[in-house]
Amino acid sequence: MSLATSTEKTVLIVGIRFRPAGRIYYFDPQEQTFNTGQYVIVETVRGIEAGRVVIAPKKIAESDLSDPLKPVMRLATEDELRMMLSFKSKEKEALMRCAERIQQHSLPMKLVESEYTFDGSRLTFYFTADERVDFRALVRDLAATFRTRIELRQIGARDQAKLQGGIGICGKTLCCSSWIKEFGIVSIKMAKEQGLPLNPSKISGVCGRLLCCLSYENDNYVQAKRQMPQLGAMLTTPSGIGKVISVNVPQNSVEVMLESGATIQVPVDDEKAQKSCGSG
């Protein structure tokens, strides 16, 4: 999020979270005053929801918004907070009862999580499956059991990690659950471009898919490599002539194998190496 300058058009926003450590969504406070920690009732694409204020009303550059702001309707009342906590406490039991129904219907699906709206008007079950599942009979069964609107939503491995949250191999909260809005394309080629070991345990996230962060600096790596000696290029170094066998972008150096068979690290800004970059 960038700070707005005097020439940029600004908008007033308030930051709301619907899950602990989850992504922060921006809403229009509509000139209302809110403090961090308060719960508010907001209009979302999924209907009316309750969320917690984590960023008090402030102005940001309009260019930082990816979607039109929806309004904060009002502060949640004490009764609504009690109702929200009551339904939240029932989610674990709902998950267990739904799992039993899935087993009874012999459906090939793995239940991930359940979620009530703050007022209990809708109960959503998230699940993963390797194939398309006909769950119409299950929905009718669940509606009769819980006596509320039932929604079953099939999600992928990345969506599961985003929903459940967790800690990545970097030691920080998962990007997908804290700030990523949409999943971009990540390929094994990105890991190769960055010289990372192609070990699944090193380049995969908790979802089992390639790390989203592989894409963050990939363009910088590609651009930097264009300015560096290419693999196989012959360089004249202080230790003699040799061939480039690897490129280290973060260290701005290349590994060179000399005619003697020895290998050395050569900084790209080394004057002699620079003069040789255009040859070979």
Give the mean model confidence (pLDDT) for residues 65-90: 93
Angle (CA) 46-3-28 rounded to 5° is 30
pLDDT at 275: 45
**Other CB atoms within 10 Å distance of the CB of residue 255:** 16
Span 30-38, average pLDDT: 92
| DSSP secondary structure letter of residue 4 | P
Asked if residue 137 has pLDDT above 50, the reply is yes
Q: Tell me what pLDDT residue 122 has.
A: 94
Q: What amino acid is encoded at 267 in this protein? A: P
Q: Is the pLDDT of residue 20 over 80?
A: no
Looking at residue 238, its pLDDT comes to 87
Please report the domains of the chain, with CATH numbers, ordered by start residue. Answer: 10-76 (no CATH), 86-155 (3.30.300.20), 160-219 (no CATH), 227-277 (2.30.30.140)
Q: What pLDDT does 66 receive?
A: 80
- Per-residue pLDDT band at 280 (split at 50, 70, 90): very low
The predicted pLDDT at position 5 comes to: 54
- Helical H runs in 180-259? 188-193, 200-203, 218-226
Does the pLDDT of residue 277 top 80, yes or no? Answer: no
pLDDT tens across 233-257, in order?
A: 998 888 889 999 988 898 888 999 9
Q: Which pLDDT score, from 0 to 100, does residue 2 have?
A: 53
pLDDT of residue 4: 53
Q: What is the pLDDT of residue 114?
A: 95
Residue 145 and residue 116: Cα distance in Å, rounded?
14
What is the tens place of the pLDDT at every residue in 207-236?
A: 899 999 999 989 998 888 888 888 899 988
